[in-house]
Amino acid sequence: MSSTQAFIDEAAKIYKVLSNSTRLNILYYLRHYNGEADVKTIVNDLHLAQPIVSKQLGILYRYQLVSRHKEGTRVYYALDDPHVIEMIDDMLKHVKHEFKGEPHPRNLYK
pLDDT by residue (tens digit) across 69-106?
Answer: 999 999 999 998 888 889 888 888 888 877 777 776 77
* pLDDT tens, residue by residue, 44-55: 999 999 999 999
Q: Which band of pLDDT confidence, cut at 50, 70 and 90, is reported for residue 109?
A: low
| Mean pLDDT in residue range 6-25 | 92
One of 1.10.10.10, 3.40.50.1820, 1.10.1060.10, 3.40.50.2300 is the CATH number of 3-80, namely 1.10.10.10
pTM to 2 decimals? 0.84
Q: Which of the 8 DSSP states describes residue 103?
A: P
For residues 31 and 90, give the distance between their C-alpha atoms in angstroms, rounded to a whole number. 12
Q: Which of the 8 DSSP states describes residue 66?
A: S
Which residues face 74 on adjacent strands?
71
Given a cut of 60, whether residue 110 has pLDDT beyond it is no
| Mean pLDDT in residue range 66-71 | 96
